Amino acid sequence: MPAEMVPLSTERLLLRPYRGSDLDPFAALMADPDVVRYLPWPVLPRAQAEEFHALRLTRTRLAADGDALSYAVEVRDGGEYVGEVLLRLLSAADGQGEIGFFLDPARSGRGYAAEAATAVLDAAFSQFGMHRVHGRCDGANTASADLMRRLGMRQEAHLREHERFKGWWGEELVFAVLQREWTTPAAPLTDGVHLLTTPVPARVEGELAEVLVDCVAGGASVGFPVPPTPAQARAWWRAALAGDDALTWVAVVGGRVRGTVRLLPAAQTNGAHRAEVAKLLVHRDARGLGLARALLAALEAEALRRGRWLLVLDTETGSSAEDLYAHLGWTRAGVIGDYALLADGGTASTTVFSKRLSP
């Protein structure tokens, strides 16, 4: 399937063939220990970086098994080179490909890696007709593993101590996604609070799973006595988002989902005026930004619009969430003892709150 690289454009990025002018910023990244820590080569001196750069200038065509495309990632606002996404053809006959990436650490936390990798996966399936694309990362490279999960790639393997890597026994995680599983949002979610609509993109589902895992690990009592695995959290969200009546909001910061809340309308005929609030979660790295308040404000406005003017929720007794709800006008209705099982075999009480909404 001979195919030439076509530049890819996203909301904020341009993914294009390498240029001679990329040499200096590329060499700077290759000289950064943090960038090459999990790459299969050491810190590169200038002469070696020039050789690596020259190779990338030739990676513009997929013609035979083993060929690769090296997309230089450029920020459209300013034209700065900030990293690379690689797409390799492993088997044309079987439609197998591999994706890899690295990014300037100074640009991390802005969603650039996810945005760039999404564009390349789109091209892999739509432009190059691949059937399956996998990605690999070191077992200690949590940032890359989390990114692939957020992209909707499932973990298929964990190879333990399978090779010597930079002086220690390396472990490798393998993630993959099939063409029929790949779902791309019509437009990326901008920073702010959004009411999700179906189908929910795999990337958003993965980020919701990340928030759930982080909150339970941080002590939140939201139905899990111990933190779920990323796969378990994703499965929970997939089932929850498939429901017909529940509404889910997300708070996006830096292009990533960092918080969420759900509205569960009562199904009973005599409960058409009420709903339950559930899964108010904010990732620990985004707390203090007012996301919980913004999520509840959006939920309450929509609940009132739908005629659900009485809301109820419960939260672990003694948690900081109690003070938040009281401050936001919720009324304590009471405490239920021994409500939730804990990981150590004990139990925790829950405090029930209610709130009457008015126009």
271-288 pLDDT, tens digit each: 999 999 999 999 999 999
pLDDT greater than 70 at residue 265: yes
Average pLDDT over residues 115-138: 93
Closest to 16 measured CA to CA, from 120, 128, 135: 120
pLDDT value at residue 95: 95
CA-based angle 36:234:303, to the nearest 5? 120
Pick 197 or 98 by higher pLDDT.
98
The domain locations on the chain are 3-181, 192-356
Q: Determine the straight-line distance between the first and last CA of the chain, rounded to whole angstroms.
A: 61
Cα distance between residue 127 and residue 133, in whole Å: 13
| Encoded tokens for 240 | 């929850």
| Pairing of the two strands 132-138 and 96-103 | parallel
pLDDT greater than 50 at residue 185: no
pLDDT value at residue 33: 93
pLDDT value at residue 198: 65
Of all residues in the chain, the percent with pLDDT exceeding 70 is 97
pLDDT greater than 70 at residue 1: no
pLDDT value at residue 219: 86
Average pLDDT over residues 177-186: 75
Averaged pLDDT score across all residues of the chain? 90
Q: Quick one: CATH architecture of 3-181? A: 3-Layer(aba) Sandwich (3.40)
DSSP letter assigned to residue 219:
T
pTM: 0.56
pLDDT tier at 10 (50, 70, 90 boundaries)?
A: confident
Choice among 66-80, 88-102, 226-240 with the minimum mean pLDDT: 226-240
For 208-223, b/e burial (b = at least 16 CB within 10 A) is bbbbbbbbbeeebbee
User: Would you tell me which CATH number, out of the four given (3.40.50.800, 1.10.10.10, 3.40.630.30, 3.40.605.10), belongs to the domain 192-356?
Assistant: 3.40.630.30
